[in-house]
Amino acid sequence: GIQVEQSPPDLILQEGANSTLRCNFSDSVNNLQWFHQNPWGQLINLFYIPSGTKQNGRLSATTVATERYSLLYISSSQTTDSGVYFCAVEWIQGAQKLVFGQGTRLTINP
């Protein structure tokens, strides 16, 4: 099957800082999504980004499909950005389902 690795596993920053989260995957994908799991456990869909670059406010994401990685950028971090960020992919050779990475736990201190 496909492997999805996220780095770093943990990240602690002060409010206002910028951060970059990385997702590497081991094979070609149909679909890549970034999710934010907030402290209440809800999964929020941030980006559907199988390739290219997208921006939504302070967040942006880039997927370079040919090199099998994606990056999530968070600028001017706020305490509400805290939580776990998951990358998930749909393997092009696999069944129709998402495979999740282990996540990056982001803590933003005031």
Partner 1 sequence: NAGVMQNPRHLVRRRGQEARLRCSPMKGHSHVYWYRQLPEEGLKFMVYLQKENIIDESGMPKERFSAEFPKEGPSILRIQQVVRGDSAAYFCASSHREGGYTFGSGTRLTVV
Binding mask 45-84 for partner 1 (x = CB under 8 A): x--x------------------------------------
Binding partner 1 by CB under 8 A: which of 88, 91, 106, 108?
Answer: 88
Q: Does 92 bind partner 1 (CB under 8 A)?
A: no
The CB-of-76 to partner 1 minimum distance in angstroms stands at: 26
Sign of CA dihedral 76, 80, 84, 88: negative
Q: Total binding residues for partner 1 by CB under 8 A? A: 19
Q: Using alpha carbons only, give the angle 66, 74, 78 rounded to the nearest 5 degrees.
A: 165
Position among 25, 77, 81, 103 found at the interface with partner 1 (CB under 8 A): 103
Where do we find the tokens 């749909």? Answer: 90
**Tokens of residue 108, six digits:** 């933003």
23-52 positions binding partner 1, by CB under 8 A:
31, 33, 35, 41-43, 45, 48
